[in-house]
Amino acid sequence: MMIATSAQSSKQVLRGCLGRFATGVAVVTFDGVADGAVKRHGLTVNSFTSVSMDPPLVLVAIQRSVRAHALLTGRAFTVNVLGAEQRDLAMHFAGKPHVEPAWVEGTRAPRLSGAVSWFECTPWTEHDGGDHTLFLGKVERFDHRPGPCLGFADGTFITIPETTP
C-alpha cells in the first residue's frame, strides 16, 4: 500500500491509482467562436460515459483549464470514439498537433472521419465537477463501424480488440 507524504505526492498517487482503470479514447468536436470567427475545435478525452438510454444521454468531463472549455458551453458537440489506428488524432487534439484531421459535416456538430463510433449531441445540462465541468449531451445521431478501439491505461495507449458475439 502506498501512503502519500505530501499534497503533491498524494495527487500523483491518486493519478496512478486512477490510471490503472483502462478507458477508451475519444475526441469531443464542435464549432465554437474564437477570436470573432467560427472555428473547428476538438479535445481528447477519456472521461466519457453513457448516462441514460431514455432519453439517450452521454457525459464528457472537460478540464476547466483547457482553452476550449469555455467555447463548449451551450454548444452542440460530437463524441468521436477513436479506432486503434487513430493514435495520431488523439495526440493532435491533446495539444501535440502533427496530423491534419479529416472532418465530416454533421447535422449539429462536426465529427472526425473514421471514428469507430460517434454520438452527435445537443446540450442537455452542465454540472460542476471540481476542476472539470461535466457536460451532458442528448444523443441525436450516432453510428459505428467494425474495428479495434484505442484505449488508455497506465499512462500509455493500448488496443482494445473488437470482440465478436
Within a domain: 157: no
Map grid coordinates 482503470 to a residue: 21
Residue 122 located in a structural domain:
yes
Number of structural domains the chain divides into: 1
The answer as to whether 17 is a domain residue is: no
Instruction: Please say if the pLDDT value at position 42 is more than 60.
Output: yes
The answer as to whether 126 is a domain residue is yes
* CATH number, position 82: 2.30.110.10
The pLDDT assigned to 122 comes to: 98
Q: What does the pLDDT average to over 10-37?
A: 85
* 43 falls within a domain: yes
- Residue 32: give the domain boundaries: 25-145
In a domain, 102, yes or no: yes
* Residue 67: band (very low, low, confident or very high) from pLDDT cuts 50, 70, 90: confident
pLDDT of res. 4: 54
Q: Which residue has the higher pLDDT, 1 or 70?
A: 70
Q: How confident is the model at residue 6 (pLDDT cuts 50, 70, 90)?
A: low
Handedness of CA 59, 119, 30, 74 (dihedral sign): negative
**Does 66 map to a domain?**
yes
Q: What's the mean pLDDT in 130-153?
A: 96
Q: pTM score, two decimals?
A: 0.90
Tally of CB atoms within 10 A around 158: 16
pLDDT tens, position by position, 68-91: 888 999 999 999 999 999 999 999
Residue 20 lies in a domain: no
